[in-house]
Amino acid sequence: MGNANRSGIWSRRNFIKAAAPVVLGHVSSKRGLAAVAENSRVIAYVGSYTSAVDGGANGEGIYRFDMDAHTGAFTQRKLVAKVPNPSWIVIHPSKKYLYTVNEIVHQESGSVSAFEIEPTTGDLTPLNVVSSEGSGPAHMSLDASGKYAFVANYAGGTIAVLPIVEGGRLGAAIDVHRDLGSVGAKSATNAPPGSFAISGHDAPHAHMIAPDPGNRFVLSVDLGQDRIYVYRFDSNSGKLSPSEAEPFVSFPSGNGPRHFVFHPNGRWIYVLGEESSTIAFFHYDSARGTLTLQQTISSLPERFAGTNFTSEVVISPDGRFLYAANRLHDTIAICAIDSSGRLTLIGEVSTMGDYPRHCTFDPRGDFFYVCNQRSDSITCFQVQRQTGSLSFTGLYTAVGSPSIVAFLS
């Protein structure tokens, strides 16, 4: 797990020792057990892989859990939707609807499924299914108004805009863009020594798409091309047009940009390099939709050598810390964010599982969850807000090939 003497890095044994007192102290705080309110229940949806894409295929669809907001525990497991490969889930701003990609790879196009959320139980009622306009949809997001869904099709190298119509149903795509042009090198420019992290430089691969905080531009990452595209978004028509100021930003060849996250201030953006195991920090000009590189750091310990793939990047609600998931190294890298937005790697924690595909905070920011795809479990960590550290609670939730956790809050 890296050098045990390094500042901010604990051994796995130390994290386990620390878990019990942290959890008990949280539950038996001033509020006391008698003060646990009925509204402590939070609904969590978990997507899973039902057919192999990158790892196991032990899931059955979308599961619903009750999350105890005081302990972090997931209980009352229920399979609420049997759909193929619901690998990415988003919830409508109204909290009435849930949407998932169906990451189907071995055919011309995957699909996106829409569901209505039963407000009392959290159960799902199918609404409709539409084409994602490309093979292997891996990511989706919604615009701020909840009128449009954006989909990134990894295998197909396309992005699509789907309208959300009355009653939460999805309409057929109203705009589709295909990434064209040269692809990057098979080996990442900034890879660790001895890395064989080669996965996606055979063709264009759209890996993530999301609007900026102002809902004026949409950013789309292509891992195969080592680019992040910037589109101007027309919120009336739903159409995307390449930004006049800067249609795309290039990354070092082979680094494979995967996912990005905006800082709460809307002026900084952080982008993962999947094959380089790096985190790139950019200044973002929201008026022009331009990105200016400020810093690139590794998500791994200083002396790491070998193969690793990053997967997810998130920022704490207060904007002070950034977390990045490392697959194969099986850790969450913890970075401090200073007043200028620059990162310092301050530690790492074992995910207590294998191949962390997704990680996220609960709605309050008290707990941190990791989907360990290849060990069929979700692990729960207590968040230490002042230091940014994560303490394993000892809580495992069994889910076959989990891909994502999304909270209804």
Confidence grade of residue 202 (pLDDT, cut at 50, 70, 90):
very high
Instruction: Count Cβ atoms below 10 Å from residue 56 Cβ, excluding itself.
Output: 18
In a domain, 335, yes or no: yes
Mean local confidence (pLDDT), 185-199: 94
Q: What pLDDT, on a 0 to 100 scale, did the predictor assign at position 13?
A: 35
Dihedral in degrees, nearest 10, Cα atoms 334, 99, 212, 94: -100
In a domain, 3, yes or no: no
How many alpha carbons fall within 13 Å on the CB side of residue 230?
20
For residue 168, the Cα-to-chain-centroid distance in whole angstroms is: 23
Structure tokens at 387: 């230091």
Q: What pLDDT, on a 0 to 100 scale, did the predictor assign at position 35?
A: 34
Top-confidence residue, 7 or 292: 292
pLDDT in tens, 10-60: 333 343 333 333 333 333 333 333 333 445 679 999 999 999 888 789 999
Q: What pLDDT, on a 0 to 100 scale, did the predictor assign at position 344?
A: 98
In a domain, 309, yes or no: yes
User: Per-residue pLDDT for 229 more than 80?
Assistant: yes
Cβ(273)–Cβ(251) below 8 Å: yes
User: Per-residue pLDDT for 399 more than 60?
Assistant: yes
For residue 29, the Cα-to-chain-centroid distance in whole angstroms is: 32
In a domain, 91, yes or no: yes
Instruction: Identify the domain containing residue 67 by its residue range.
Output: 12-27+40-399
Q: How far apart are CA 58 and CA 76, in angstroms?
A: 19
Instruction: Count Cβ atoms below 10 Å from residue 247 Cβ, excluding itself.
Output: 14
In a domain, 408, yes or no: no
Write out the E strands in 11-147.
41-48, 62-68, 74-81, 89-91, 97-102, 111-117, 124-131, 137-142
Mean local confidence (pLDDT), 196-216: 96
Mean local confidence (pLDDT), 130-147: 98
List C-alpha distances in Å: 406 to 11, 212, 224, 225.
29, 20, 27, 29
Classified as helix, coil or strand, 171 is coil
- DSSP states of 39-72: GGEEEEEEEE-SS-SSS-----SEEEEEEETTT-
Q: What pLDDT, on a 0 to 100 scale, did the predictor assign at position 281?
A: 98
Q: What pLDDT, on a 0 to 100 scale, did the predictor assign at position 39?
A: 55
What is the pLDDT of the chain when averaged over all its residues?
Answer: 91
Classified as helix, coil or strand, 38 is helix
Q: What pLDDT, on a 0 to 100 scale, did the predictor assign at position 17?
A: 36
Q: What pLDDT, on a 0 to 100 scale, did the predictor assign at position 56?
A: 84
Q: What pLDDT, on a 0 to 100 scale, did the predictor assign at position 40?
A: 63
Mean local confidence (pLDDT), 336-341: 98
In a domain, 34, yes or no: no
Backbone angles phi, psi at 170, to 5 degrees: -95, 140
State which H helix or E strand residue 153 sits in.
strand 148-153
Top-confidence residue, 29 or 119: 119
Q: What pLDDT, on a 0 to 100 scale, did the predictor assign at position 330?
A: 98
Mean local confidence (pLDDT), 254-282: 98
Confidence grade of residue 151 (pLDDT, cut at 50, 70, 90):
very high
Q: What pLDDT, on a 0 to 100 scale, did the predictor assign at position 54?
A: 85
CATH, residue 80: 2.130.10.10
Cβ(177)–Cβ(158) below 8 Å: yes
* Total number of domains constituting the chain: 1
Q: What pLDDT, on a 0 to 100 scale, did the predictor assign at position 20?
A: 36
Backbone angles phi, psi at 250, to 5 degrees: -95, 145
In a domain, 409, yes or no: no
pLDDT in tens, 315-333: 999 999 999 999 999 999 9
In a domain, 4, yes or no: no
How many angstroms separate the first and last alpha carbons of the chain?
A: 34
